Structure 1
Amino acid sequence: MTTPEPQVTAERELCGLVNELSRQISEHVRERAAKLELTAAQATALREMTGPMTLSELAERMSCEPSNATYVIDRLQKQGLIERRPHPTDRRAKQLVLTAEGIALRERLIELLVEESPLAGLTREQQNVLHELLDQAVTQR
């Protein structure tokens, strides 16, 4: 049995919109990161550092392999923005923690990311609905 053409067209158009939004968000992050002399990956890591976490947790939030996150964290550590500390409950693990300079830069980055965001044209309610729908689509698998 074949899938009806209108369903195929709707799926294709929806995928195109999601891809375009992803492209716009990526470009927005790159542009804002450059203003702070960061790479997009560094900006993503800082954005995702909402508190102390392990490298594995950060890599998952960044949607990348831990080896890629390690490279990014090494550079942020050299810049004095992040520290590796002993994990409080797992002596084999390290915990990533923003320094005071890292916290200040993250706050500035968040301000820049909110400015003219590709999602800024949506109301808070619309953003919540979009979030729910995307979450549902992603977790459905």
Structure 2
Amino acid sequence: MTSPPPDPLAVEVVELIGTVVARYHREYEHAAARYALTGAQARVLSLLCVEPTPMRRIARYFECEPSNVTGIVDRLEARGLVERRPDPSDRRVKIAAATPAGREAAARLRGSLDFAREPLAALSEAERTTLRDLLKRMVGGGAPG
């Protein structure tokens, strides 16, 4: 049994998404470097600004070895951007949390990401809302209610 031919529109959309992702990663790496962070350090810091997170969950989220996360958190902790705390529900578990300096650094880094600012500004609010809603559906977040 042969598979149906690819939908040309779907192929074009996938290629455009790939271009956006590549530009985002390139700019994110450059922005992180301006703050003397690696891309991995910046991503972990960004995650920890959302909520303090156990080290093993960070490793699962980024699909990497826990020892890699330990090294990243060690370097962020040495710079005062992250701290380790015992988990209140299980004191044997260590959670990592962004410090106030870490949250400030992450906010500055986010604010320096310009690649989409101008193209998004060219869209109307309704178009940006539609784009957001479609992207949420694609990543499994469903349409906002």
Normalized against structure 1, the TM-score is what?
Answer: 0.78
Q: CA, structure 1 residues 71+127, in 2 after alignment: closer, same or farther (shift >3 Å)?
A: farther
Distance 2:13 2:117 in 1: 17
Aligned sequence identity (%): 33
- In 1, Cα distance between equivalents of 2:117 and 2:63: 20
* 2:29–2:38 CA contact under 8 A, matched in 1: yes
> 5+ residue gaps in structure 2?
none
Q: Against the structure 1 CA distance between its residues 64 and 102, is the aligned structure 2 distance closer, same or farther, given a 3 Å change threshold?
A: same
Counterpart in the other structure of 2:98: 98
Q: Is the 8 A contact 2:24 2:115 kept in 1?
A: no
Higher strand share: 2
Question: Which runs of no fewer than 5 residues in structure 1 stay unpaired?
Answer: none
CA RMSD, aligned part only?
2.6
1:78 aligned residue: 78
| Residues 65-111 of structure 1, C-alpha deviations (whole Å, 9 max, x = no match) | 33322221111011111111111001220111112211221221221
Q: CA deviation at 1:11?
A: 4.9
When normalised by structure 2's length, the TM-score is 0.76
Give 2:134's aligned residue: 130
Task: State the SS of the aligned residue for 1:5.
Answer: coil
* Count of paired positions: 135
